[in-house]
Amino acid sequence: MPTESAALPGAALHLPGALLRYAPAFLAAAEADALFGVLRAEISWERHHVRLFGRMLPVPRLSCWIGDAGTAYTYSRVRFEPRPWPPVLAALRAHLQHACAARFNSVLANLYRDGRDAMGWHSDDEPELGDDPLIASLSLGAERRFVLRARGGGARLALTLQHGSLLLMGGACQHLYRHALPRARAAVGPRINLTFRRVVPQP
């Protein structure tokens, strides 16, 4: 975790106790366009299922867990083994590690096919992510609304994630807040989200 948030990309967003920074044009438009096309065609997209209320239910999006060896990730009591890094994502990881002065050993890729695909309220607070994780979230494709709210109510923030933008979440963000990508009422095109993180092996 970088010690100086001012050295991180983007401008600070203000939620008490959280490190949040947003860079709306982290990637140039042409670079973001090319990356979107390659990832949509080359990633092995899967329809994952999670356990909710005792039932296995499909999630409303396509996903792929990618990472170094030993970065298996458990979400909703389902264990995901990492797929190998495609060259384009390995290069992007190196770019992000340099920009953020941080190390990432895994990335969750999500494909939202249209406005009906979404992500419900949650926090990225699994034990494998360690204390106060830094998560680098890169958005490609259609713009979508992203919201955060305090676990106990009160503080709330909403923003539109643009094509090629980078959102950094760190500090106590995952402990104090939940976040979501709601369904879109208007017709929207596909969007890819890449959340780079560091998995800490558990005993």
pLDDT digits (tens, 9 = 90+) for 104-154: 999 999 999 999 999 999 999 999 999 999 999 999 999 999 999 999 888
Average pLDDT of the residues in 18-45: 97
Q: What are phi and psi of 187, to 5 degrees?
A: -70, 130
pTM: 0.93
Region of 56 please: left (phi>0), alpha (psi -120 to 50) or beta: beta
Q: What are phi and psi of 103, to 5 degrees?
A: -110, 130
Q: In this predicted structure, what is the pLDDT of residue 76? A: 66
Residue 29 has pLDDT above 50, yes or no: yes
CA 62-65-71 angle, 5° bins: 165
29-197 domain in CATH 2.60.120.590?
Answer: yes
Determine which of 3-7, 19-23, 31-35 has the lowest per-residue pLDDT on average.
3-7
Q: Residue 191 contacts by C-beta under 8 Å, 6 or more apart in sequence?
A: 111, 112, 139, 140, 141, 142, 143, 144
d(C-alpha 171, C-alpha 179), whole Å: 15
Residue 156 has pLDDT above 90, yes or no: yes
